[in-house]
Each structure stands twice: as structure tokens, then as C-alpha cells.
Amino acid sequence: MAERTSAHYLALVRGAAQDAAELEQIYRQAVATGEERAFREAVATVLQSGQRTPVLLAWGYRLDLLPLPASGEMAPGRSAGGPSDPSRSWGPALAVSLGLGLLWTLLAGDQPPVPFPDAARPLFWLGWAPATGFAILAYLALAGNPGVRERRWLLAAGTLVALAALAGGLARARTDDVAFLTAAHLPLAVVLALGVAVTGPADRPGAQWFPLLLKYAEVLLTAGVFAMASGFLGALTMGIFAVLGIQIPDATVERAAAFVLGTLPVLAVASVYNPRAVPTGQDLTQGPLRLLRLFARLALPAVAGVLVLYLFWFLPHHFWRGFQDRSLLLVYNLTVVTLLGLMALAVPTRDEAGTSPWLRRVLILTAFLTFLLNAYALAANLSRVWHFGLTPNRHAVAGWNGVTLALLAAILLGQVRATDRDWTERFAAALVRFLPLLAGWVGWVLVASPFLW
């Protein structure tokens, strides 16, 4: 019972970390029920995890969990530039970004900086993801709290080096389907390795993965915006030179593109991720992520309507097309992945759950329809394996179909048992619970595919 009480207050305190009035109400409730100690322990745990909002810091001083700063000394979480001054992060971000840009230029050489084995140098399509992961890790270590999670930084860095060496040794000389599968799965392995590095040991690692997944989406969107802006400026620059009669060699353009693209990932991370806080301490209510989540919630009803029309009208009339058309089957699988991303973005946080009574029904409907589409795609893929044999692509896709099918089943079963108070936590927990299985399949594809084919 005591453990359940502590977990209860830990969730309440974390959810009210930026709401002074709500946190005061939680405290008064704890005093009235004789659970003040559980409240105090919850505040201490959240502070230790790196989630240090001004409201939580005030409670840390009030409950004697933090020492008061001496006269003239900066309080925790502050710098000369004010609360959470970004100037502490931009110095390392710029330095690491420039270094990564130069490294991308060297890896790309005289070929285009694209992750395609048939178009780019092996050093680039195999090296860009581990190099980027290593650079992001270096930035987080330099800009974050000194001395925190050093073992995790070293473990993640060693994993990135091992991934690059493994992929390079197994697939460097290939340009077949195995090479493309390696190019597609290596960035996923890097993302998972970075996730292990930033989930702090002071808090439950499982609880940190869902906000981390949301931050990954925000970083990806920010990097995409930066890339589009850079492309526009690059095209404008080339147009100006063309008007002046100056022809820029293609090799120079490709090297400039490699350098610029290489600087963007770390700058995107620095723009939206607080390196001094664990994922549960990140702000999920502002910036590009807020727009991304709003778009997902607005798009879900329309997406669910299109799925109903497709699954119950079009598919019965053209049932065997997916069994015969490889490109259509690819579209189905990409649709399943996109729908999972939309659902993850649309799931509200605990304090938002009461404001969206319609959202749970839309999410459950979308999960059910996605389950049906995924089951159809798995059946079609297995049919092609039976008739035409096992290939690297069919092998990889079958595993992904199995993982996503189990994930969607867990979401639906969790919602059957959920109440109006805990359905958001159950939805997010189901998404996170299958990450080890996903990581295992990514590792299997990277290691096994070169040996099987």
C-alpha cells in the first residue's frame, strides 16, 4: 500500500510540476490523509530526476529537500542569463554542429549526401547515422548537468561505435536489398541507443520513453523545417550566381549540401530539448510539438473516416490486390507506421485527459482499424512468402507486421480495462512496452540479414 501511495503521489507531482495551485491542493490532500511523507518523497524523486521547474524548486526549499543558495550564489536551474538560460547550450551546440558538418562532408566525398547505398559512398550511408548520434551525445554531455549519467554516455558511445563497425563490416560492399535494409534500420538503432543514454536512472526508465518519443518527433520536425529553409536559401544563392553568370560546380554544391545538412541535427536538438533535464522534465506543451500534436488530433477523425471507407468498401471489392501488388503492400505498411505515429502524438498528457472526452473514442477506433489493416498486410506478406519464397524485404516486413500487430492488440486490450482516469497512461504504456521487442527486431535485421542472404 505504501508503494502504491508513493507511485500515486509521484504521478500527481510530476503532472503538476508547473501548476502552483494544483500542487498546493495535492499537498493539502496529503496532509489531510496523513500521507505528507509520501508527498515529500515524491517531490524529492522528481527533483532528483532533473525536472526542476520554478514551482518544484520552491517546494524543494519549503520541504528542506534543497539547500538554500548562499548570498550571491545562483540558484539551481538558473544562470547569469536568467532561468534556463539557453546561452549555456548554444556554445556546445554550435561547436559540435560545425564538427558534424565537416564530418558529413568528409564522409560524403564526391557523392550526394543521401542515405541510399546505390547513390552515396558507403562511408556516408553507413556512417551518417552513428556519427550524428555520437555528435548529439557529445552535445548533451557538454551542455547537460556535469557528472550526471556519465556511465550511460559511455555505454551509448560504445554502442554507436559498435553499430557503425558492425554495419560497415557486414554491408559495406553491398548495394542490394540487404544494404537498403541496413541503411533503413541503422538510424533506428542509433535512436534507441540515444534513448537509453538520456533516460535517467533516478526515475523509472519506462515512464520516460513516451515523452522522449514525442521529443524525437519534435526534433525531426524542427530539423525538417531547418532543411527546407536551408534549401530555399541555397536555391536563392545559386539563382543569384546564375544571374551573374557564375556556374557553381556540382561537386561544390554537393559538398556544401553535406556540410549544411550535417550541422542541422544538433541545432534541432538544441532548439527543442533541454539537455539539463530528463525526458519527464521536458516541456511538451510549447513550440513545434504543440502544433504537431494539435495537427494529429485534428487529423485523426478524418483519417479514421477514410480508413472506414477503405476497409469496408474498397478492400472487399479488391481484396486480392494487396496479395499481388508489391507496391500496394508497401503503401499499406507505411500507412500503419504513420497511423501509429499520429496516435502517439494525439494521446494527451494526464492533465489534458479531462478536456478531450471525444479523443479516447477516436483513438480506439483508429487503433482498431489500423489493427485490421496491419493484419491484412501481414496475411498478404505471408502469402507472398509462401508462393515466391523468403526475401530480405519480406523477412523484415513480416517481423515489423508482427511487432506492430502485438502493439495494437496491447493498446486495444488496455483500453478495454482502462477507466476515464487512467486511459491515457495505459495508452502511452502500451506504446512503450514493445520498445524492447522493436529494438530486438532492429538488431536482428541488422545482424542476420547479411548472413541469411
Q: Which pLDDT does position 406 carry in this prediction?
A: 93
Residues 300 and 362 sit within 8 Å (Cβ to Cβ): yes
Q: Which pLDDT does position 73 carry in this prediction?
A: 42
Q: Which pLDDT does position 87 carry in this prediction?
A: 44
Q: Which pLDDT does position 287 carry in this prediction?
A: 82
Q: Which pLDDT does position 131 carry in this prediction?
A: 94
Among the listed residues 375, 396, 367, the one whose alpha carbon sits nearest the alpha carbon of residue 332: 375
Q: What angle do CA 453, 177, 217 make, to 5 degrees?
A: 125
Q: Which pLDDT does position 83 carry in this prediction?
A: 38
Q: Encode pLDDT of 252-270 as tens digits.
A: 888 999 999 999 999 999 9
All three cell numbers of 265, joined, read 541535427
Q: Encode pLDDT of 296-348 as tens digits.
A: 999 999 999 999 999 999 888 888 888 888 888 888 999 999 999 999 999 88
| The 3-state secondary structure of the chain, one letter per residue | CHHHHHHHHHHHHHHCCCCHHHHHHHHHHHHHCCCHHHHHHHHHHHHHCCCCCHHHHHHHHHCCCCCCCCCCCCCCCEECCEECCCHHHHHHHHHHHHHHHHHHHHHHCCCCCCCCCCCCCHHHHHHHHHHHHHHHHHHHHHHCCCCCCHHHHHHHHHHHHHHHHHHHHHHCCCCCHHHHHHHHHHHHHHHHHHHHHHCCCCCCHHHHHHHHHHHHHHHHHHHHHHHHHHHHHHHHHHHHHHHCCCCCCHHHHHHHHHHHHHHHHHHHHHHHCCCCCCHHHCCCCCHHHHHHHHHHHHHHHHHHHHHHHHHHHHHHHCCCHHHHCHHHHHHHHHHHHHHHHHHHHHCCCHHHHHHCCCHHHHHHHHHHHHHHHHHHHHHHHHHHHHHHCCCHHHHHHHHHHHHHHHHHHHHHHHHHHCCCCCHHHHHHHHHHHCHHHHHHHHHHHHHHHHHHC
Residues 183 and 117 sit within 8 Å (Cβ to Cβ): yes
Q: Which pLDDT does position 203 carry in this prediction?
A: 46
Q: Give CA–CA dist 66/281, Å, rounded.
A: 18
Q: Which pLDDT does position 451 carry in this prediction?
A: 85
Q: Give CA–CA dist 172/126, Å, rounded.
A: 7
Q: Which pLDDT does position 403 carry in this prediction?
A: 93
Spell out the domain ranges in the chain. Answer: 2-73, 89-281, 287-452
Q: Which pLDDT does position 201 carry in this prediction?
A: 52
How many alpha carbons fall within 13 Å on the CB side of residue 125?
23
Q: What is the pTM of this model?
A: 0.80
Other C-beta atoms closer than 10 Å to the C-beta of 394 total 18
Pick out the chain residues at pLDDT < 70.
Answer: 1-6, 48-52, 66-88, 145-150, 200-206, 350-356
| End-to-end Cα separation, the chain, in angstroms | 54
